[in-house]
Amino acid sequence: MTRLTRDPELSQRAPRLQIAIAGGDTAQSRNLQKRVALVERLAAGLAGKRVLDCGCGAGAYTRAYAERGAHAIGVEYSLDKLRQARGHGPAPGEPGPTFLHADVSQLPLRARSIDVVVFNEVLEHVPDEHTALVEASRVLAPGGVLIVLSPNRLYPFETHGVSLKHLGTKLPAHTPLIPYVPLPLGLHLFDYWARNYWPWQLRRQLRAAGLTIHHTSFITQTLENISGTQPRLLAAAAPTLRIVLGVLERVPGVNAFVSVSQVIAAHPAR
């Protein structure tokens, strides 16, 4: 059995953010369709599989997995969001997902009972991401896959936004180069709402939780004003920019700097 330990470099040398459970929904139409299609591809199909949507929010992604034939389970810590998720019942004749109130670091599920676990822009909001990843590994069935979509710190914008420390002034999400500020300095300058991972940092996190990585890639924004603060000029240019980003997303090397999120698929190393 693989021994699960924290990566010493992550737990001792790297500065740590104190993160509270939070997060918004990213289920705008284009973004949802793009990400669900990616999850379906990385999972080699969803039909008939047990899919766990960790931090499911209002449940749009969980319902989308169910519509593709999955036995979908959404786990959410926020009771307000859970009520929203449960309030959207399936259409007549459509399969319905199950929604549970739980912490992703303490999943109320049997070991080796899930085929696909998804963290879609959630891991960066979890107070203890190592424990959450260990839990994901625990519930994955043999041959199962963990799919993580999480912020890419090579992207020059901090889309969650940050606030100036002691002033409380929130900087716009389109403020450039915030992710490139070294974290030891950033902790003196900013209040962070979420983590932002260098690609190699997130990979180490998964390996430290006993997972073997078999896919890495990047995914670009769909420019649907998910943050609610999109400048008008950017909104006007969005149709053209989507085409450009769609092309650049497929260019190795370049995609790492134009993509808002990184994508990792892994399976338990056991």
Write the pLDDT tens digit of every residue in 12-54: 345 677 777 777 778 899 999 999 999 999 999 999 999 999 9
* Total domains present in the chain: 1
Comparing 111 with 6, the larger pLDDT belongs to 111
Q: Tokens at residue 234, please?
A: 């950017």
pLDDT value at 259 more than 70:
yes
Tell me if 38 is assigned to some domain.
yes
| Residue 20 to residue 194: CA distance in whole angstroms | 8
Q: What is the CATH number of the domain that holds 99?
A: 3.40.50.150
| Residue 124 to residue 132: CA distance in whole angstroms | 11
| Residue 146 to residue 211: CA distance in whole angstroms | 9
What pLDDT shows up at residue 226?
82
Mean pLDDT (the chain) is: 91
User: Within 13 Å of residue 37, how many CA atoms lie on the same side as its CB?
Assistant: 7
| Torsion sign (Cα): 29, 31, 32, 38 | positive
Write the pLDDT tens digit of every residue in 215-257: 999 999 999 988 777 888 888 999 999 999 999 999 999 999 9
Tell me if 2 is assigned to some domain.
no
CA distances (Å), 145 to each of 45, 46, 86, 212, in order? 11, 11, 26, 10
| Residue 70 to residue 62: CA distance in whole angstroms | 9
Report pTM. 0.92
114 beta partners: 140
Tell me if 205 is assigned to some domain.
yes
Write the pLDDT tens digit of every residue in 64-123: 999 999 999 999 999 999 999 999 877 666 668 999 999 999 999 999 999 999 999 999
